[in-house]
Chains A and B, each alone.
Chain A
Amino acid sequence: MAEERRAGPARMEVRLTGEIDHHRAGELMRELEDRLDLEAPREVELDLSGVGFMDSSGIALLIRVYRALALTGGTMLVTRVPKQPGKVLRAAGLSRLFPISYQ
């Protein structure tokens, strides 16, 4: 599950956990979209420290969150990325779109 912690006005922090693949991505995206709609944050931090596995389905998910935020002038950052998801993010060159910090 994606659990949410409020981090002050206009800032949303979400800790993603588990394995992010195609099987899981649809539901996760709907959850994230609901929260973005509800809170309309200016900045979103996605904490990936609990993600044990991620493939290209996760790349598409992160890009969709980035685009949804960009529409309203919001920004995002991805933090505490473990090794395997980190290698996938690097291969996709996602740090050109938003800041990424690795574990």
Chain B
Amino acid sequence: MKIINEARLIFPSLSANESFARSAASCFAAQLDPTLEELGDIRTAVSEAVTNAIVHGYPDTLGDIVLRLRLLEGRVLEIQVKDKGVGIPDVEKARKPLFTTGGEERSGMGFTIMESFMDGIRVRSAPGKGTSVTLRKQVSPRMRG
């Protein structure tokens, strides 16, 4: 799919950047004039992916997170969150509802939420190398009044 617009942000894995990432993604998405619900879905999915990079990707260190925002042909928003952290040994297992390595502070629902709030998700990961999560959402056309 043709790339119409793109922005890249790099920030350290500080929890204060969770809200920054949500806001940045929703500002970028604004050019598609999404509904409030669509914006909420985007903010939620970004929050899940970025929190995972911070909490699981870099559990004991600070590392860089790259947030890549793309507007694709056909009103498709593509969001990629990438870390160079510990990686996921078994992605299929990690994506199952309620699966967590995070103890009682986590619920194991992050991937499930990303899947249900977005139209597509692709997870690439290699232990010791890092993880990238690519999310896509088709934003509905708006009637102009």
Contact = CB atoms under 8 A, between A and B. Distances in A.
Interface of A: 19, 21-23, 25-26, 29, 53, 55-57, 59-60, 63-64, 83-84, 87-88, 91-92
Q: What's the dominant secondary structure at chain B's contact region?
A: helix
Interface of B: 15-16, 18-19, 22, 36-37, 40-41, 43-44, 47-48, 51, 54-55, 104-107, 109-110, 112-113, 116-117
A92 B113 CA distance: 8
Contact of A22 (B41, B55, B112): B55
Contacts, number: 70
Nearest to B46: A55
A23 B55 CA distance: 10
A56 B22 contact: no
User: Interface on chain A toward B: helix, strand, loop, or mixed SS?
Assistant: helix
Contacts of A60: 104-107
13 contacts: A19-B19, A22-B18, A23-B18, A25-B105, A53-B40, A55-B51, A56-B107, A56-B110, A59-B109, A84-B43, A84-B44, A87-B37, A92-B107
Closest 5 pairs (CB-CB, A-B): A23-B15, A84-B40, A59-B107, A55-B47, A60-B107
Contacts of B113: 55-56, 88, 91-92
Contact of A83 (B16, B37, B104, B112): B37
A98 to B, nearest CB: 14
A26 B107 contact: no
Contact of B116 (A26, A29, A91): A91
Contacts of B19: 19, 21, 23
